Structure 1
Amino acid sequence: MKLELAQTIRHYNKKDLPGDILAGIIIMAVSIPISMGYAQIAGLPAVYGLYGSVFPILFFALFSTSPQFIFGVDAAPAALVGSALISLHVESGSNEALAVVPVLTLFVALWLLAFYFMRAGKLVNYISAPVMGGFITGICTTIILMQLPKLMGGTAGTGEFLELAEHIAKEAASINLPSVALGVSALVILLLSKKFMPKFPMAVVLMAAGAVMTRVLPVREWGIQTLAAVEPGLPAWSFPDLTVIPIKEAVTISLSVAVVIMAETLLAENNFAQKNGYRINDNQEILAFSAGNFVAAFTGCCPINGSVSRTAMGEQYQGRTQLTGIVAGGSMIVLLLCGTGFIGYLPVPVLTAIVISALLGATEFELAVRLFKVSRTECLIFAGAFFGVLFLGTINGVLIGIILSFTEMIIRTAKPARCFLGIQPGHRHFRDLKEGSQIHAIEGVLIYRFSSNLFFANIQVLERDIEDALQKDTKAVILDASGIGSMDITAADRLGSLYQSLKKKGIRFYMTEHIAELNEQLRKLGLGYMIEEGSVRRTIHIALKDMEIRRPYPLAGGVDNEERSASRKRADNRVQEFVWAFGSDTEAQIEKQILKQIEQLKKDGNVEELLHGRWSHMEALDKDEWLEHLEEHLKEIVNISGKDEKTLAMQFEAHRREVYERIAKEHPELAKRFQERRHKLDEHLKQRRPEVYELVVRLREENQL
């Protein structure tokens, strides 16, 4: 696993410096109320929220590959740890809580490290954009509802929607109008400035104005809350005491917290990455989460998570690299050492308005509107993730969204796009018969295109479509598999059954147009006999040629199909079909088929049949290689047939000459390649059958072949 440190600031652009510094200072400022509040929710004194915004954020910035995401004390892990303390009968804010929480944080860091080594980050690739959008919007809405009571002069809420709604209603009963007026005014100013002056640091101005107002006006007497005063100094470093909680409890509780941190932060990071056009290394991000939480454990803090609100704030004020996080962490150090007195002057409603403003900008309700217009199914997935997070919590919301995504995917692939193909008179390309009345089927042939990977849920669709379309005059079925990249064993077994069923009815079945890798799957799944019997061909045209159906193709209903131009045919032999079909097993398969034909020669003595192979209408380069393998068996063929060695060798060489002349005439661009391959095949023959090679060379010189 290649590890790159300080990736986003390694080649730093000085133009980003002003934005990074400003965004870092603002993030530090808004982290003060958020972090202090969430630390208390986690059962720690408020100052530990500030401690969690120092060293963890610095270590995260060192390891992270995201240029803009910010780490810090956040809602979901804090709430989980707080509820765990209740189940452990540990009093919030007590000395016991101060000892237990760092132990939980340490095990969270260990779980995240294990996830890193397990490469669990790739799981996020299976989460769709509607799930991500619904998840982020649900998180933002939940945090806004948590913060809303603080605008009314109350305390932040916890839990899911019903608990939050109950808490808001309770706080509304004792609403403080000056707090509401100050908070709403600040929020309106922030939203207007974001629209008309997006780069202006209005948040800093409002915080400074709020501190001045507290200093010169009796805001506390009006009932407007300010942040609690904090003792100056940095956190003390120590290893958590593992004896304060049973290891089993620590492992199980920390697992759920680690999963929440990984899922929530990776989803949010990828959402910001997609929106802003960059890529992150999901697995290294998990290592960054682990590093941040190890530092948090050693400084006595609760588990640390990626923060959507602080990242949105950094994005608003043009923070472009992890220098933003470093400035935020460094600024918090300065504040803890020199400016803790300033904290006590900050009005809570103003800080709350700043947080809500940033979260409103991070919601993606516009995506829901777009999905509603384009895809009701994906809109439902967005809503499922959104309401899941809102009503059931982070993990349940993500799980609901993922389940809906996979359900939708299975439904979609179980009913894939498919059609029967025909051709327009005078044209050469195959098109959907339903495109118009000018498209006609080829007489006696069904050409069926299936545009999805084949698996247990959709193979029956393919079978029924083909069986229902069979007519009395159907001679062949050609499957255009250009949209099939893989198949499972159920689909393979059913496809084999269909092949045998059609064969019994005297109907030939061909599989065409697919990628070469699918042929390897066919062999592994037990359908290699279809390839060996020549029923797997590279193109529809080659399959038709194999049935002796040539251009212009006869159309159903006696429709005239006279070619409109005498333009040269497209080269079907630009890629060797045998190599395409058999891959690395090509030589062995050619040899295998030749040996079978030599056995047949012993029965019927037909030497001419050897020249063509079991695959009729082989393209030129394949035929040349076939002849080279035949020459290796020259003496054996002589013994069986009783023919003269020289006569047979001349027959092979004359056939090769015919192949070359045809390819030089029809596709001169391939003639040079043919000669180059001939030289390589001669070298091969010289190494394996030197006596045959000498005979062939002598014959060429004598007869100028």
Structure 2
Amino acid sequence: MFPILLFALFSSSPQFIFGVDAAPAALVGAALVNLDIQSESAQAMKVVPVITFMVAVWLLAFYIMKAGKLVSFISAPVMGGFITGICTTIILMQAPKLMGGTAGTGEFPELASHIGATLGKINVPSLVLGLVSLVILLVAKKWIPKFPMAIVLMAAGAIMTVCLPVKQWGVHTLSAVEPGLPVWQLPDFTAISMKEAVTISLSVAVVIMAETLLAENNFAQKNGYKINDNQEIFTFSMGNLAAALTGCCPVNGSVSRTAMGEQYQARTQLASVVAGVSMLVLLLFGTGFVGYLPVPVLTAIVISALLGATEFHLAVRLWKISRTECFIFIGAFVGVLFLGTINGVLIGVILSFTEMILRTAKPATCFLGIQPGHRHFRDLQEGRQIYGVDGVILYRFSSNLFFANVGILQKEIEEALQEDTKAVILDASAIGSIDITAADRLELLYRSLNKKNIRFYITEHIADLNGQMRKLGLGYLIEEGCVRRTIHIALKDMGIHWPYPLEGGVKNEERAASRKRADNRVQEFVWAFGNEAEDVIERQIRHQIRQLKENGDVEELLHGRWAHMEELDEDEWMEHLEEHLKEIVNISGKDEQTLAKRMEEHRKQIQKRIATEHPELAERFRQRRHILDQHLKEKRPEVYELVMKLREKELL
């Protein structure tokens, strides 16, 4: 009761609920067994508060050390796997109580064994009562989520106990509780050696901090608010101090109670205050009522809430978008289930860091070029009209540079060298740090290029990287002019000025502002959608066709906002339109021959424009046109046949 009220007072979480929970209770119980202390004995009642007090001391130490920042190293898959593992573990602990048995303890093997043993002696009335309650709760959660069905079921269960001989049927009810409030007093520190108390309490404190912080952050992310991790650790300490002074075992955040509160949209700590006050009233005046509550009904309420807190949906989502992160989720989940809270989190964190190292060890890289008439550097693979600067290798490395990935940089640059290469310019805009191994390899690369009379530049990086290079012995590169603020400055240092000469003798002339804007739109489109660009074009055309149904304007469809695309992209757009020729004819009522002719005339104009303005692209255009025609032939053979007939009649 008092830990709950203190938590409500100090916590930065608006919804998390504190109290006695399975994990720390199990650890303390195991410690008592190892100490050969009988549970529920007078000795146990003396030892447990001492352990709880030391847990509070450890948590206060963690607060002073600002240990809350460690949570930032735990990823969403780890957090999701952890919370799902905790919920599943508690469900497995509670499941035997639905069948008339006792709650399980331990990890999955012990829990499965206990469930198996309980299956051999099922109490049918308990099972029926529990399953019916669970079904009612799940249905109510879906159709009337705000209705307090749990309270209704508890009341119905109490009435059933009064009116029916449920105890004779073997249905367990809660044990009766002696009335009165707990007494505040210091623990008896002589009940256990301080060395044992410190050792036992450390593991309990770590579990409380890790489990509760992870669960709190999970609920915070899910519901769109932030918590102060370090303040929460202080709150845990105060809660356990109150527990120790009232003779209670260690307490921590309760996933099951919080999930139950979330089910009924509890959004403030008023829920904890009401819970604490309700417990106070119950202890003073209502302890007799507790003995009428059927255990299967209460178990069904807990399981219903926990099912809603699991995040298996996150695992399904991760499986679709990132198998690696899905395996991290599974690792944390299985770890918690089989090895316990701390080990599960450690497995997830280790997998996360391993995945991060592997990812940074093979970062995204690309060679850069420019589109004629534009000054911005882009990935050579990004578009059909991107060309490298003649005699210059522009290379972008998208990661911090360290021992595990510097070999990729060196290898890719060396493999890209040509006989006419005059310079290598490294776009280091994504490099924020460099280690000594990478610095040594960069120096080797610089000297190797220097022997071949190839200049080497490092550009676009943050100023802090220059300080790192000076400390690592690469300061002379700055002094020799190999480090420049931008790629443009590096090119100017080489004597290469705008308009830059492009590979293959492609003309690079300034374009009109309107044409640049149109080109930029296409670049943005291809950059945003990548390999899915063709599918997106198809979706946009379908959108335009839906608009055609509303306004009937064929001209807007044929000469819409794409009229100033790159010629190759515009031709592809027209090919997609031809695929929908039949549909456009049906909607507009226009003649099929007329529409097909107009589309082909438009494509012929594109072809002439390319031949005039970009003769270097003429052959590429013919190749692309052939590919598009074959695509049209496969998808719409009847339209392809019509187009071919129009071309044969030389109407174009």
Same fold by TM-score greater than 0.5:
yes
Say yes or no: does 1:318 pair with 2:287. Answer: no
- Tell me how far 1:516 sits from its aligned partner: 2.4
Pairwise CA distance, 1:173: 0.8
User: Following TM superposition, by how much is the alpha carbon of 1:252 offset from its aligned partner in structure 2, in angstroms?
Assistant: 1.3
The question of 1:519 aligning with 2:466 is answered yes
Task: Return the offset for 1:142.
Answer: 0.4
Aligned 1:521-540 pairs, distance under 5 A = 521-540=468-487
Counterpart of 1:485 in structure 2 is: 432
Q: What's 2:65 paired with?
A: 118
1:99 paired with 2:46, answer yes
What is the CA–CA distance in structure 2 between the aligned matches of 1:489 and 1:116, rounded to whole Å? Answer: 35
Q: CA deviation at 1:492?
A: 2.3
The amino acid of 2:226's aligned partner reads R
1:132, CA displacement in angstroms?
0.4
Q: Does 1:109 align with 2:56?
A: yes
User: 1:565 offset after TM fit, Å?
Assistant: 4.2
Tell me the SS of whatever aligns to 2:375.
Answer: coil
Cα offset, 1:566, TM superposition? 8.6
Q: What is residue 185 of structure 1 aligned with on the other side?
A: 132
**What is the alpha-carbon distance in structure 2 between the residues aligned to residue 196 and residue 148 of structure 1?**
25
5 Å-filtered alignment, 1:537-686, equals: 537-565=484-512
- In the alignment, what sits opposite 2:391? 444
State the Cα distance separating 1:467 from its structure 2 match: 1.5
Q: Among residues 292, 300, 303, which one is paired with 1:353 in the alignment?
A: 300
Cα drift, residue 529 of structure 1: 2.3
Correspondence for 2:222: 275
After the TM superposition, which residues 101-250 of structure 1 pair with which residues of structure 2 at under 5 Å, given as runs?
A: 101-250=48-197
Matched, 1:338 2:278: no
| SS of structure 2 residue aligned to 1:563 | coil
**More off after superposition, 109-118 vs 488-497:** 488-497
Q: Secondary structure at the match of 2:190?
A: helix
Q: 3-state SS of the aligned residue for 1:434?
A: coil
Q: What percentage of aligned pairs have identical amino acids? A: 77
Q: CA RMSD in A?
A: 1.4
Q: CA deviation at 1:421?
A: 0.6
Residue 281 of structure 2 aligns with an amino acid whose one-letter code is V
Amino acid at match of 2:170: G
Q: Distance in 2 between matches of 1:490 and 1:123?
A: 28
Distance 2:411 2:250 in 1: 55
What's the TM-score once normalised by structure 1's chain length?
0.72
Moved more, 558-567 or 405-414: 558-567
Aligned amino acid, residue 339 of structure 1: G
Which residue in 1 is equivalent to 2:539?
Answer: none
Is 1:307 paired with 2:250? no
One-letter code aligned to 1:449? R
| SS of the residue 2:366 aligns to | strand
Provide the residue aligned with 1:298 in structure 2.
Answer: 245
Deviations 1:561-596 (A, max 9, x none): 2232499x9xxxxxxxxxxxxxxxxxxxxxxxxxxx
Matches within 5 A, 1:441-520: 441-520=388-467
C-alpha change, 1:337 and 1:448, in structure 2 (3 Å) is same
1:533-570 deviation per Cα after TM superposition (whole angstroms, max 9, x unaligned): 22222211111111110111111222222232499x9x
Distance 1:556 1:306 in 2: 64
Q: Secondary structure at the match of 1:369?
A: helix
Separation in 2, partners of 1:250, 1:278: 37
2:161 counterpart letter in structure 1: T
**Number of aligned pairs?**
515
Unmatched tracts of structure 1, length 5 or more: 1-53, 570-705
Q: Deviations over 1:576-633 (max 9, x none)?
A: xxxxxxxxxxxxxxxxxxxxxxxxxxxxxxxxxxxxxxxxxxxxxxxxxxxxxxxxxx
Q: Which runs of 4+ in 1 moved over 6 A?
A: none
What is the aligned partner in structure 2 of residue 63 from structure 1? 10
Amino acid corresponding to residue 393 of structure 2 in structure 1 = L
Q: Is 1:84 the equivalent of 2:11?
A: no
**AA aligned opposite 1:365:** F
Q: What stretches of structure 2 of length at least 5 have no aligned partner? A: 517-652
Q: For residues 336 and 489 of structure 1, what CA distance do their matches in structure 2 show?
A: 66
**How far 1:251 sits from its partner (Å)?**
1.2
Deviations 1:327-365 (CA, angstroms, capped at 9, x unpaired): 111110110011000000000000000000000000000
Matched AA of 1:89: D
Letter in 2 for 1:400: I
Classify the secondary structure of the residue corresponding to 1:419.
strand
Letter in 2 for 1:194: K
Deviation at residue 427 of structure 1 after TM alignment: 2.0
Deviation at 1:521, TM superposition (A): 2.5
1:263 to 171, 191, 210: 210
SS in 2 for 1:267: helix
Of 344-353 and 432-441, the range deviating more from structure 2: 432-441
Q: Which amino acid aligns with 2:181?
A: L
Given the two structures, how large is their TM-score scaled by the length of structure 2?
0.77
Task: Report deviation, 1:288.
Answer: 0.6
